[in-house]
């Protein structure tokens, strides 16, 4: 099939290369000329495993990049809108880019197309997009909501081997086209109405965020009463109704999805006269969770003014360079405000953090240099290389043997035997 993808961020680019892998002819469109030129040269502007390999395999064959929207829209059977939907100051979703894409598509369309909202959008956006396109084009087209469930770091595998495919539409013709488009992917397909499909994405992410905040609160209680959160989570996870996934206690969730989608669902509810109390609590718990790591740091080292604190991990999760809403940013800001000297290292996210803090931080080239001479080491992101660190080498280069394990990846018993002062989360 001929596919046009509008937007080349995490979602648009990941979907584009995956649709090409499935044998479609795909054109990805973006207004950012520098980004398009990078992609044409085989450079990927984001870090996402497997995307570069698929780009190299298909670019120039059945995968193309351009800043011009008109020709790709005219040639395509299906047009995906995969532009950004950032949060406004009040937590509501800013649909500026979605509306602009819809207007441009309406001006370019010259025959029947299926227009698919892939961006995460609030309930009712399908009607907004339909109305905008109809102002410019009076012929036939159908609107579909096809939310993405791609996790940063595993976007390609999530696309090709999904738990489910959700398609919201009211047209039999559009339904058949979407069936054909996904026919080679083995996964349950849920066909529903557009508004339900729009809500499914928010409900899914909000539920997972709730699960994380819940286990973090149980971990905080474990710290007080002396329980072990790993045992508690294992015991809960053995119940098939609960499951073990997303029950890993830590310093809170971040990224481009969970914080934004929780805010958006609270806003959607508020705009419709409903107070989503559970999600307000989820948001509150998450906003405070990183503070507990700093409190544990102070318990070990006392006042941090003038002391060197090493942070391992800056991305909000492993296998991405994304630092949006990352706990590391909030922790760094707090440590700087308290007068600490902060050293940082991350395998992929150093550039993003350097752009934010510039010369306010010490940027190390590896974990050992980051820890060298520090009064405490804080593990923020559970990158695989951090799980494999030579902890004896860390013990030798660190000034004071204090470790705050914000993701519970180390053995407390082993570290204490090596002479470390250890603080985990709920352990």
* pLDDT, position 253: 95
Q: Is residue 201 part of a domain?
A: no
- Beta-carbon contacts of 72 under 8 Å, excluding residues fewer than 6 positions away, are 4, 27, 29, 64, 66
Region 93-116: mean pLDDT is 96
- Given a contact cutoff of 8 angstroms between Cβ atoms, the answer to whether 334 and 291 are in contact is yes
Q: Of 139, 165, 192, which residue sits at a domain end? A: 192
* pLDDT, position 377: 98
Residue 7's Cβ-side half-sphere holds a number of Cα atoms within 13 Å equal to 25
Looking at the structure, do residues 316 and 381 belong to the same domain, yes or no? yes
Looking at the structure, do residues 138 and 251 belong to the same domain, yes or no? no
Please report the sign of the dihedral spanned by the C-alpha atoms of residue 279, residue 282, residue 286, residue 287: positive
Backbone angles phi, psi at 402, to 5 degrees: -110, 130
Looking at the structure, do residues 358 and 262 belong to the same domain, yes or no? yes
**Highest-pLDDT range among 27-31, 83-87, 88-92:** 27-31
Distance CA 58, CA 20 (A): 7
Q: Is residue 20 part of a domain?
A: yes
pLDDT band at 220 (very low <50, low <70, confident <90, very high): very high
Looking at the structure, do residues 269 and 157 belong to the same domain, yes or no? no
Q: Is residue 202 part of a domain?
A: no
Q: Is residue 198 part of a domain?
A: no
Looking at the structure, do residues 295 and 396 belong to the same domain, yes or no? yes
Region 1-26: mean pLDDT is 97
> How is residue 138 annotated by DSSP?
-
Residue numbers of the domain that contains 417: 208-423
Q: Of 192, 220, 241, which residue sits at a domain end? A: 192
Instruction: Say how many C-beta atoms besides its own lie within 10 A of residue 324's C-beta.
Output: 17
Q: Of 192, 216, 236, which residue sits at a domain end? A: 192
The DSSP code sequence of 145-158 is E----PPTTSHHHH
Q: Is residue 39 part of a domain?
A: yes
Looking at the structure, do residues 10 and 122 belong to the same domain, yes or no? yes
> What are the tens digits of pLDDT across the range 88-99?
988 899 999 999
For residue 407, which of 244, 292, 248 has the smallest C-alpha distance?
A: 248
Q: Is residue 164 part of a domain?
A: yes
Predicted structure pTM score: 0.92
Helices (H), 50-168: 51-58, 70-75, 96-108, 125-136, 155-160
Residue 330's Cβ-side half-sphere holds a number of Cα atoms within 13 Å equal to 20
* pLDDT, position 256: 85
Q: Which residues are the active-site residues?
A: 257
Report the chain's mean pLDDT, rounded to a whole number.
96
Looking at the structure, do residues 252 and 361 belong to the same domain, yes or no? yes
Distance CA 250, CA 231 (A): 15
Which two tokens mark 234? Answer: 């294992």
Distance CA 167, CA 311 (A): 42
The DSSP code sequence of 326-372 is -HHHHHHHHHHHTT-EEEEE-SS-HHHHHHHHGGGSEE-SSHHHHHT
Distance CA 418, CA 427 (A): 18
Looking at the structure, do residues 179 and 243 belong to the same domain, yes or no? no
Looking at the structure, do residues 10 and 135 belong to the same domain, yes or no? yes
Q: Which residues make beta-bridge pairs with 9?
A: none
Percentage of the residues of the chain whose pLDDT score is greater than 70: 100
Looking at the structure, do residues 293 and 238 belong to the same domain, yes or no? yes
Percentage of the residues of the chain whose pLDDT score is greater than 90: 96
Region 369-379: mean pLDDT is 98
- Beta-carbon contacts of 157 under 8 Å, excluding residues fewer than 6 positions away, are 50
* pLDDT, position 89: 87
Is pLDDT of 388 > 90? Answer: yes
> What are the tens digits of pLDDT across the range 334-372?
999 999 999 999 999 999 999 999 999 999 999 999 999
Q: Is residue 203 part of a domain?
A: no
Looking at the structure, do residues 279 and 331 belong to the same domain, yes or no? yes
* CATH code, domain with 404: 3.40.50.720
Q: Is residue 10 part of a domain?
A: yes
Query: How many domains are there within the chain?
Result: 2
- Three-class SS state of 275: coil
Region 408-423: mean pLDDT is 96
Is pLDDT of 209 > 90? Answer: yes
Looking at the structure, do residues 164 and 213 belong to the same domain, yes or no? no
């Amino acid at each position: 099939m001929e596919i046009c993808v509008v937007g080349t961020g995490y979602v648009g680019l990941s979907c584009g290369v995956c649709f090409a892998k499935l044998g479609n002819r795909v054109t990805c469109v973006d207004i950012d000329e520098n980004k398009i030129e990078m992609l044409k040269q085989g450079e990927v502007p984001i870090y996402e495993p497997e995307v570069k390999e698929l780009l190299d395999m298909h670019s120039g064959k059945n995968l193309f990049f351009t800043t011009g929207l008109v020709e790709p829209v005219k040639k395509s059977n299906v047009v995906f809108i995969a532009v950004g939907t950032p949060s406004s100051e009040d937590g509501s979703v800013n649909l500026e880019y979605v509306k602009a894409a819809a207007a441009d598509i309406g001006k370019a369309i010259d025959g029947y197309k299926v227009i698919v909202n892939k961006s995460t959008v609030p309930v009712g956006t399908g009607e907004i997009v339909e109305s905008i396109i109809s102002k410019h084009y009076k012929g036939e087209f159908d609107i579909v909501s096809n939310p993405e469930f791609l996790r940063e770091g595993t976007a390609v595998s999530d696309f090709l081997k999904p738990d489910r495919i959700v398609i919201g539409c009211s047209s039999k013709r559009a339904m058949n086209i979407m069936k054909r488009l996904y026919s080679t992917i083995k996964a349950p397909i849920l066909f529903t109405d557009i508004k339900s499909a729009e809500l499914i994405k928010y409900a899914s992410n909000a539920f997972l965020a709730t699960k994380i905040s819940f286990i973090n609160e149980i971990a905080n209680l474990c710290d007080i009463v002396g329980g072990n959160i790993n045992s508690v989570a294992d015991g809960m996870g053995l119940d098939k109704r609960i499951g073990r996934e997303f029950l890993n206690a830590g310093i809170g969730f971040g990224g481009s999805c969970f914080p934004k989608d929780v805010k958006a669902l609270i806003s959607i509810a508020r705009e419709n006269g409903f107070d989503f109390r559970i999600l307000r609590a989820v948001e509150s718990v998450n906003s405070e969770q990183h503070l507990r790591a700093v409190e544990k740091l102070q318990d070990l080292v006392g006042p941090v003014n003038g002391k060197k604190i090493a942070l391992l991990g800056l991305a909000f999760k492993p296998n991405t360079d994304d630092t949006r809403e990352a706990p590391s940013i909030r922790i760094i800001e707090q440590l700087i405000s308290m007068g600490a000297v902060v050293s940082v290292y991350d395998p992929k996210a150093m550039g993003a953090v350097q752009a934010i803090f510039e010369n306010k931080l010490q940027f190390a080239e590896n974990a050992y240099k980051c820890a060298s001479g520090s009064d405490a080491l804080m593990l923020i992101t559970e990158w695989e290389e951090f799980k494999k660190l030579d902890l004896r080498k860390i013990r030798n280069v660190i000034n004071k043997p204090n470790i705050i394990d914000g993701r519970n990846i180390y053995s407390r018993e082993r570290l204490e035997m090596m002479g470390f002062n250890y603080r985990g989360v709920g352990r």
